[in-house]
């Protein structure tokens, strides 16, 4: 009972495929309609949180009004301190002497390293 393919189109297989495609399209339409209904319901819900956010904003504004303002005089004091700090380094202090000594040692070290680099250069050219 083996039926081999014949010459020409197979109308039965084409009908089955058409029916299958129709069922798929109908199912897709149903799913699309359900999704659209669900989307409409979801879009209606967020109106309530917006009202809550405006209430919370009002509460935040009231709280901000009750907070005391920072004192401006503290900023002026810090400006004065900065001016005093700028004046101090310009004056002569014995505390500054060790920095000069360290500067001299750094200069000596620099000169020695320059000599070492010059020696390497002469060796490299040979």
Q: What is the pLDDT of residue 113?
A: 94
The proportion of the chain whose per-residue pLDDT surpasses 90, expressed as a percent, equals 24
Mean pLDDT of the chain: 77
Q: What is the pLDDT of residue 109?
A: 92
Would 114 be classed as within a structural domain? no
Residue 32 is part of which domain span?
11-45
Domain count, the chain: 1
Would 33 be classed as within a structural domain? yes
**In this predicted model, which residue has the larger pLDDT, 17 or 86?**
17
Q: What is the pLDDT of residue 124?
A: 74
Residue 85 CA from chain centroid, whole number: 38
Would 38 be classed as within a structural domain? yes
Q: Cα–Cα distances in Å, from 125 out to 64, 115, 118, 119?
A: 75, 16, 11, 10
Cα torsion 23, 29, 30, 35 to 10°: value is 150
Q: Note the pLDDT tens digit of each residue in 73-100.
A: 655 556 666 665 555 455 555 555 556 6
Q: What is the pLDDT of residue 26?
A: 97
Alpha-carbon span 16 to 14, nearest angstrom: 5
Q: What is the pLDDT of residue 24?
A: 97
Would 97 be classed as within a structural domain? no
Q: What is the pLDDT of residue 16?
A: 94
Q: Residue range 27-56: average pLDDT?
A: 78
Q: What is the pLDDT of residue 25?
A: 97
Encoding tokens for residue 2?
């083996």
Would 39 be classed as within a structural domain? yes
Residue 28: which pLDDT band, with cuts at 50, 70 and 90? very high
Would 36 be classed as within a structural domain? yes
pLDDT tops 70 at residue 58: yes
Name the maximum alpha-carbon separation found in the chain.
118
């Amino acid at each position: 009972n083996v039926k081999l393919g014949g010459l020409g189109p197979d109308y039965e297989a084409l009908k089955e495929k058409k029916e299958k495609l129709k069922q798929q399209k109908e199912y897709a339409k149903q799913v699309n309609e359900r999704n659209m209904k669900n989307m409409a319901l979801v879009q209606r819900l967020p109106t309530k949180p917006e009202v809550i956010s405006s209430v919370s904003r009002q509460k935040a504004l009231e709280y901000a009004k009750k907070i005391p303002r920072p004192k401006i005089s503290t900023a002026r004091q810090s400006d004065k301190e900065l001016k005093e700090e700028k004046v101090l380094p310009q004056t002569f202090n014995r505390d500054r002497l060790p920095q000069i000594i360290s500067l001299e040692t750094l200069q000596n070290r620099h000169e020695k390293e320059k000599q070492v680099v010059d020696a390497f250069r002469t060796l490299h050219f040979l």
